[in-house]
Amino acid sequence: MNFLITGAAGFLGSALANRLAREGHEVRGLDDLSTGDPQALSPDVLFTRGDVNDRPKLWTLLQEVDCVFHLAARVSVPESVLYPREYNAVNVGGTVSLMEAMRDVGVRRVVLISSGAVYGDQGEQPLRESATPNPHSPYAVSKLAAEYYVRTIGDLWNIETVSLRVFNAYGPGQHLPASHPPVIPFFLRQAVRGGTLVVHGSGSQTRDYVFIDDVLRCMLAAATAPGLNHAVINVGSGNETSTRELVRLVLETTQSKAEMITHSRTDPGVSRMCADLTLAREKLGYQPRISLAEGLRLTLERDARFSKDIPTRPLP
């Protein structure tokens, strides 16, 4: 098959592009490199630097494409609070530009990578796709708006649409920006360096952490599975883990004596998050394979940034 991946140089995008290329598909990648790393991409991926709002460039890249994976987005919740206009321009405007270009060229399927953040605080867990969204940030609003645009424009122009609400994905190669880094790679780096692990709030807040290999299996299935038009599907592990439990696992995995401190005056965000995976099992044949403990171990083993920081320990 022929694929276009927007946001191809990002954490999920590069892993997906490389997997598809290894399997023999033709893969075109688009990324503006505002946060992505083109060095993460296989030479077999046909990479183009560009903006997802550039429709003439999209028209060129979409020729003879069977399916688009749309991952191009700004993804920092705290940053979106400061810059909501920019998040709307990229996450919403970019989605509309892509759908218009797909309409013009005649591409017939798109898989949008959305986010579990659209749920916000809910009274019941695990979170089902039928729950009324309650977004708490401009980032979450932009992802929800993108879902609606994809479905509506798809309906108008006979484009099959699938939205995957990915929860807290992690794994080797995840970006570590200086400001607001993702919690798992940040905790791992602090632990292997003997630094401090800061827990915001009480540490009882929970998240659903899902390893990248499991996410990729869902994404690949969504490209070809039948009967998915209009589907909105959760992608997670189906387990909720508190921040304190995450710290314990990180320290255990790294054999670190790093210190944990709490910062009770900061907002820890949504109190609980856990994905209901019923639809993913029914529609995509999905069953998570990697536990959080195993995923942390694999991240340490596969990511050279961490392995070079792990001190040599005597054999028992």
What are 139-156's pLDDT values in tens digits?
Answer: 999 999 999 999 999 999
Residues identified as active-site: 139
d(CA 259, CA 49): 42
* Alpha-carbon distances of 223 from 112, 151, 182, rounded to whole Å: 10, 16, 27
Asked if 313 and 164 touch (Cβ cutoff 8 Å), the reply is no
Closest CA to 297 of 262, 267, 253: 253
Tell me the pLDDT band of 316, cut-offs 50, 70 and 90.
Answer: very low
d(CA 24, CA 2): 10
Task: Give residue 269's pLDDT.
Answer: 83
SS3 211: strand
pLDDT of residue 214 exceeding 80? yes
pLDDT of residue 16 exceeding 50? yes
* Alpha-carbon distances of 39 from 9, 74, 249, rounded to whole Å: 8, 20, 31
d(CA 88, CA 73): 10
The position carrying tokens 């004596």 is 257
Angle between helix 11-22 and 212-224 (nearest 10):
60
Strands of the sheet with 2-6, listed across from one edge: 46-49, 26-31, 2-6, 67-70, 109-115, 160-166, 231-235
Task: Give residue 308's pLDDT.
Answer: 55
Angle between helix 183-192 and 243-254 (nearest 10):
40
Task: Give residue 309's pLDDT.
Answer: 55
**How crowded is the C-beta side of 204, counted as CA atoms within 13 Å?**
3
SS3 115: strand
